[in-house]
Chains A and B, each alone.
Chain A
Amino acid sequence: MNFLLRVFIIFLLSYIFGFDSYWWLIVIYPITVGFIFFDNVISHFISGFLGVFLAWLTLIFQLDVATHSIISQKIANILFVNNNIILIIISSLMGGILGGIGSVLGQLIRKIFLKNLNQDPYID
């Protein structure tokens, strides 16, 4: 439950509250979630990754369908990817990695401040 909840929170926040000017600021969502929930770092990497990956995938796909893939196809060709679906997946993977690193960082910071791991109130 912890894992799925984390993915869902990160997904929702990244989906709704993006930042135009500094796109990478959404990394605060996986960092915060990584800080609040206790788990091992690998699990956190995956939840952070999935949360942002899915949010970006959904966002880009929605916009792409609404705009008949005109721009994604052209940009895909410019970047030598040649297929707009692959471009969208690459874009989302890029966001996913950002989320993954963010969540790991959140968890590591948590471990600095909480000396006794067993005192974690959120532990399963």
Chain B
Amino acid sequence: MQKIIPLKAIKSIIVFFILIIYIHLLNISVFNLPPIGKLLNPYSGFIQNGLVNKFHDIELPGIKEEVILQIDSLLIPHIYAKNDEDLYYVQGYMHAFHRLWQMEFQIMSTSGRLSEIFGERALSRDRTSRRKGLLYAAKNTLEISKKDQKTLNFIEAYTKGINDFISSNDIKDLPIEYKLLNYKPEKWTILKSFLLMEQMSDMLSRTNQDIEDTYLLELLGKKEYDFLFPEIHQEVDPIIPRNTSFEFAPEKLTRKRDTIYPKILIDETFKKPDPYNGSNNFAISGKRTKNGYPILGSQPDLSLNLPSIWYGIHLNSPTVNTMGVSLPGAPGVIIGFNDSIAWGETNATRDVVDFYKIKFRDNNRKEYFFDGKWLKTEKIIEKFIVKNSKPFYDTIVMTHHGPVSYDRNFLGDNDKVDLAMRWIAHDASIEYKTFFMLNRAKNIYDIKEALSYFDGPAQNFAYATTSGDIGITIAGKFPIKWKEQGKFLLDGSKRDHEWSGYIPFDHALSMINPERNYVSSANQHPSDKSYPYYTYSHNYEYYRGRRLNDRLETILNATVEDVKNIQNDNFNYIAYEILPILLEKIDTSNFNINKKLTLDKLKKWDYFSNPQSIEASIFETWHHFLRGKIWDEFDTIKFKYRRPTKYNTFYLIKNYPELKYYDIASTEKTEKLTDIINLSFDLTEDSIEIWKKSNSNDISWKNYKNTTVRHILGIENFSVSNINIGGNRNILNAASKYHGPSWRMIVELDPDGTKAWGVYPGGQSGNPGNINYSSMIKDWSLGKYNKLLFNNFSEKIEDQMLYTKKFKK
């Protein structure tokens, strides 16, 4: 018997180990797949994310007084609190309730911590984030925010709301992305809310071509460079109209203009923000509207993502009653309205990032040369936790200009290049104060006061009030620069290459109640040369602003419907300006019947890139090939460069029938403009035939363009594609493939109660298993809006609500 018992024990032990191994294998990630057991089990796996709207889980343990929470059919929370701390506490709680994963993931990305989730493949991206100084900037802001107790209290209450949600949240209720990627949420902090603002700056104010343009300047010479890359064109209709006179005495330049730039060549630069991050906004005075009240329209164009970048919310306390969209991770309303005013932002685009070439004393990089002296550097060791690997350390050298972003350790071409980054976003500033004040503003004076605290990312704020005022102000911290300062790389050893201080807020471009009775912006140039400060950006937009003003000029009794039509306007200004010229030069002598038909269609086109338009598909392909053929010389350039803009390309075609660039470098023949127009038309035909073979016969613009709202991780099944929408970049309805109007808002400033309509391409819930994850996309594509429920709390509207609950302390 004694022999049998050990045998049985051994059997048990073997089975026990099989069991342990089985469970273990299901709990770890193999072949980059999520842990299958965690994901598939019915108790805490994916199926729990299918549950809709778990409102009964809402608890609000941290409130100080009674709070009423209502949630409407769009899942927009309406929060009625008796004090502001409770108000922002519940906002934080609801942001986390619907968008926890997105909020945290954005912060992980901004602070350069994606390697903790994805391992080594995210390391380069993380290093870029840290080298851009995003974390460093947020820490600066955190320090200064401690001086403004009220603002800090609000952000603290907001943070507590998020954390109370996180700690009450069961594993089974975690957003699906945590389950797929196998990690858990951390505590939220005030720093993280500041990091979110840095992320906005990264997206909106970091754009620059300093490295590329320095190279092009060297390659082309100044004359040719200016010819190909002019700063402005005559046709531009700036935000502040031409020939406006400015009464203030401008600040003096304390630095001398010095145009000897460092010369460097570099293979690769930091990934740029999307150049099409833009928007449009406008306010029409009551003198031009049918009902006699001002109307404000705001439409920020951003990357089309799910979960959506915006989150609708209504905040009500004794000090504030405001509604609009907020950013998950940030307290307050960012674009919206209250009982007295409405406001909206577009990106101001102006260049506020410059690179300085640093000369170190020696290899130790302890000192660098500046203004005849050797200054000390500071070294920051950045630690990166890398999943399934050892931690990685990166040394970032700090100068008084900013972090040395490009150096021997990163993209610096083996110690040949050291570039320090000077960026407005590095400076401490509390943009939240602006939004807290705007949310409470009653008139244009309050608005002006609020905007004076706004440093960046610089925005064109359009606003309107129930007392009948309208206005636009370009708010942000702008350096005073000599002409062309910061357009090219600067020399970090010269004092004259430093900025001369900042433009005072009183000198900001601003316009209130202009004679034309409307204000507008669409990322175009802020002003002409009458403004006494240098306002360069390589990325001002040339088309949407003109179309917007054309439309506003023609409408004299504007209604909300008119404003909807403007926001959904598919007029293709590029086609209107250039297509007739291209068609003139087409040689039809060898055309077959198909080509002739295509050409006839284009000739009859009304230039509207509507969803069903076939002409739009053909035209967009055609000018794409044409630009490729014109600037083919550039493609052989070894180092990082950029091509001339669309606007300038078409300007040259119109005005310069003979240019050396029309020749195709790779052929023996010397091509003329007519040749490449015809050649690119042939290529268009071929390319569309190929597209048809691999896709479908239907080349309607919506199919061909395939507008897609992508999940942040690019997970196809969490994304929505082939959306029935027209428009494109450079069109007011700016929906391109992955980019477009991220929120459409219209507000009528009726003194008896502000009325508002809005829609965005997504839904309030961040859960791909919830119907409200992407429910607004269809309405958004069709130009339909939701009336926003903006009232003081009353029992009457309860039946329009999915959920109403009074929370006692």
Q: Which residues of chain A have a CB within 8 Å of any CB of chain B?
A: 18-21, 23-24, 26-27, 55-56, 59-60, 63-64, 66-75, 77-79, 87, 90-91, 94-95, 97-98, 101-102, 104-105, 108-109, 111-112, 115
Sample (6) of A-B pairs whose CB atoms are under 8 Å apart: A18-B43, A60-B47, A70-B50, A72-B50, A74-B718, A79-B33
Q: Do the beta carbons of B40 and A101 come within 8 Å of each other?
A: no
Given contacts A63-B50, A75-B717, 16 further A-B contacts (CB under 8 A): A20-B43, A24-B27, A63-B42, A63-B47, A64-B50, A67-B52, A71-B50, A74-B717, A91-B40, A94-B26, A95-B41, A97-B22, A98-B23, A101-B22, A105-B12, A108-B15
User: Which chain A residue shows the least CB distance to B1?
Assistant: A115
**Cβ distance A31 to chain B, nearest Cβ, rounded Å:** 9
Is the Cβ of B22 less than 8 Å from the Cβ of A98? yes
Closest chain B residue to A75 by CB distance? Answer: B46
Q: How far is the CB of A54 from chain B (nearest CB, A)?
A: 12
Residues of chain A within 8 A (CB-CB) of B22 are 97-98, 101
Cα of A18 to Cα of B41 in the assembled complex, Å: 10
Whole-angstrom distance between the Cβ of A2 and the nearest chain B Cβ:
21
Complex Cα gap A109–B8 (Å): 8
Per-residue A-contact encoding for B632-666, CB less than 8 Å = 1, 0 else: 00000000000000000000000000000000000
Interface residue? B305 (CB, 8 A): no
Q: Is the interface of B mostly helix, strand, loop or mixed?
A: helix
Is residue B18 within 8 Å, beta carbon to beta carbon, of the partner chain?
yes
Interface contact A24-B180, CB-CB below 8 Å: no
Interface residues on chain B, size class: 35 or more
**Binary CB contact string for chain B from 31 to 49 against chain A (1 if under 8 A, 0 otherwise):** 0010011111111111111
A67-B41 contact in complex given A102-B19, A108-B12, A111-B8, C-beta closer than 8 Å = no
Rounded to whole angstroms, the CA-CA distance of A20 and B717 in the bound complex is 26
Please state if A104 and B15 are interface contacts (CB–CB under 8 Å): yes
Partner of B50, one of A20, A21, A67: A67
User: With the chains together, A111 CA to B7 CA distance in Å?
Assistant: 11
For residue B771, CB closer than 8 A to chain A, the reply is yes
Contacts A72-B47, A112-B5 known; A94 to B37 CB distance under 8 Å? yes
Complex interface: chain B residues within 8 A of A23 (CB):
37-38, 41, 43-45
B593 is an interface residue with CB less than 8 A from chain A: no
Q: Does B805 contact A (CB under 8 A)?
A: no
Interface-central residue, B42, B48, B172, B180, by most chain A CB under 10 Å: B42
B47/A24 in contact, CB under 8 A: no
Which residue of the partner chain, among B11, B51, B770, contacts A63 with CB atoms under 8 Å?
A: B51
Is B170's beta carbon under 8 Å from chain A? Answer: yes
Per-residue interface assignment for chain B, residues 715 to 742, with 1 indicating a CB less than 8 Å from any chain A CB and 0 otherwise? 1111000000000000000000000000
A-B pairs with lowest CB-CB distance, top 10 = A71-B769, A67-B50, A18-B43, A59-B42, A23-B41, A71-B50, A91-B40, A108-B12, A77-B717, A74-B717
Between A18, A78, A101, the greatest number of chain B beta carbons within 10 A of the residue's beta carbon is seen for A78
B residues less than 8 Å from A73 (CB atoms): 717
Main secondary structure of the interface of A (DSSP, over half): helix
Residues of B within 8 A of A (CB): 1, 5, 8-9, 11-12, 15-16, 18-19, 22-23, 26-27, 33, 36-52, 170-172, 176, 180, 715-718, 768-771
Once the chains bind, are A67 and B180 in contact (CB under 8 Å)? Answer: no
When the two chains form the complex, which single residue of B11, B51, B170, B176 contacts A20, counting CB atoms closer than 8 Å?
Answer: B170
Pick the contact of A67: B18, B715, B769 (CB < 8 A). B769
Given A23-B43, A79-B33, A91-B41, check contact A74 B768 (CB 8 Å). Answer: yes
Q: Taking the nearest CB of chain A, how far is it from the CB of B168, in angstroms?
A: 13
Nearest Cβ distance between residue B47 and chain A, in whole angstroms? 5
- Whether the pair B176, A71 counts as a contact (CB closer than 8 A) is yes
CB distance from A118 to the nearest CB of B (A): 14
- Min distance, Cβ A38 to any Cβ of chain B, angstroms: 14
Task: Please give, as numbers and ranges, the residues of chain A lying within 8 Å of B771 by CB-CB distance.
Answer: 68, 70
Separation of A24 and B24 alpha carbons in the complex (Å): 10
On whether the beta carbons of B15 and A64 are closer than 8 Å, the reply is no
Tell me which of A19, A75, A97 contacts B39 (CB under 8 A): A75
User: CA–CA, A45 to B769, complex, Å?
Assistant: 35
Q: Say yes or no: B26 contacts A24, CB within 8 Å.
A: yes
A98 proximity list for chain B (CB < 8 A): 19, 22-23
Task: Report the nearest B residue to A109, measured CB to CB.
Answer: B12
Q: Which residues from B are CB-within-8-Å of A87?
A: 40
A7–B73 Cα distance when bound, in Å, is 44
Closest Cβ of chain A to B662, distance in Å, is 48
Q: A21-B171, A101-B19 are in contact. Are A71 and B47 (CB under 8 A)?
A: yes
Which B residues are CB-close (under 8 A) to A102?
Answer: 19
Interface centre among B33, B768, B769 (most CB of A within 10 A): B769
Q: Is the CB of B9 within 8 A of A112?
A: yes
A91 and B42 contact, CB distance less than 8 A: yes
B172 and A20 contacting across the interface, CB-CB below 8 Å: yes
Q: A101 contacts B37, CB within 8 Å?
A: no
Q: Which residues of B contact A21 (CB under 8 A)?
A: 44, 171
- Bound-complex Cα distance A59 to B45 (A): 12
Q: A20-B43, A78-B180 known; A71 and B768 CB under 8 Å?
A: yes
Most-contacted residue by chain A among B19, B40, B718, B769 (CB, 10 A) = B40
Contact between B172 and A112, CB atoms less than 8 A apart: no
Bound state CA distance, A87 and B40, in angstroms?
Answer: 9
Chain A residues contacting B769 (CB-CB under 8 Å) are: 67, 70-71, 74
Q: Complex formed: what's the CA distance from A97 to B26 in Å?
A: 12
CB distance from A102 to the nearest CB of B (A): 7
- Shortest Cβ distance from A78 into B: residue: B717
Q: Are A112 and B8 in contact (CB under 8 A)?
A: yes
Complex: A1 Cα to B683 Cα, angstroms? 77
B-chain residues with CB within 8 Å of residue A70 when the two chains form the complex: 50, 768-771
A81: min CB distance to chain B, Å? 10
Report the bound CA distance from A53 to B718 in whole Å. Answer: 29
B49 to A71, Cβ gap below 8 A?
A: yes
With the chains together, A23 CA to B42 CA distance in Å? Answer: 8
CB atoms of B42 and A112 under 8 A apart: no
Taking CB as reference atom, which chain B residue is nearest A24? Answer: B23
Nearest residue in B to A105 (C-beta to C-beta)? B15
Pairwise interchain contact B36-A94, C-beta atoms closer than 8 A: yes
With both chains docked as a complex, state the minimum distance between the C-beta of A85 and any C-beta of chain B, in angstroms. Answer: 13
Q: How far is the CA of A69 from the CA of B768 in the complex (A)?
A: 11
> Separation in Å of the A116 CB from the closest CB of chain B?
10
Determine the chain A residues whose CB is within 8 A of the CB of B170 once the complex forms. Answer: 20
Q: Is the CB of B44 within 8 A of A67?
A: no
Which A residues lie within 8 Å of B11 (CB)? 108
- Chain B residues near A77 (CB, 8 Å)? 716-717
Interchain CA distance A60-B41 in the complex, whole Å: 8
In the complex, A121→B23 CA distance in Å? 32
Cα distance A20–B42 in the bound complex, in angstroms: 9
CB-defined contacts of A60 to chain B, threshold 8 Å = 42, 47
Closest Cβ of chain A to B334, distance in Å, is 29
CA A19 – CA B333 in complex, angstroms?
A: 39
- The interface centre, meaning the residue of A90, A97, A111, A115 with most chain B CB atoms within 10 A of its CB, is A111
A64 and B769 alpha carbons, distance in the complex (Å): 10
Closest beta carbon of chain A to B610's beta carbon, Å: 31
Of all chain A residues, the one with the shortest Cβ separation from B27 is A24
Interchain CB contact under 8 A, B42 and A18:
yes
Residues in chain A near residue B768, CB distance under 8 A: 70-71, 74
A68 to B770, alpha carbons, bound, how many Å?
A: 10
Given A78-B180, A101-B19, A72-B37 contact (CB < 8 Å) = no
Q: Which residues of B contact A68 (CB under 8 A)?
A: 50, 771
C-alpha gap A77/B770 in the complex (Å): 17
Question: Bound state CA distance, A69 and B513, in angstroms?
Answer: 54
Q: In the docked arrangement, what's the CA distance between A64 and B770, Å?
A: 12
Interface centre among A71, A97, A105 (most CB of B within 10 A): A71
Chain A residue with Cβ nearest B174: A20
Q: Please give the distance in Å from A119's CB to the nearest CB on chain B.
A: 14
Bound-state CA distance A54–B153 (Å) is 52
Compute how far the CA of A64 lies from the CA of B49 in the bound complex, rounded to whole angstroms.
10
> Roughly how many angstroms separate A100 CA and B38 CA in the complex, as a whole number?
19
Chain B residues with CB under 8 Å of A97's CB are 22
Q: CB-nearest residue of chain B relative to A18?
A: B43
Chain A residues near B176 (CB, 8 Å)? Answer: 71, 75
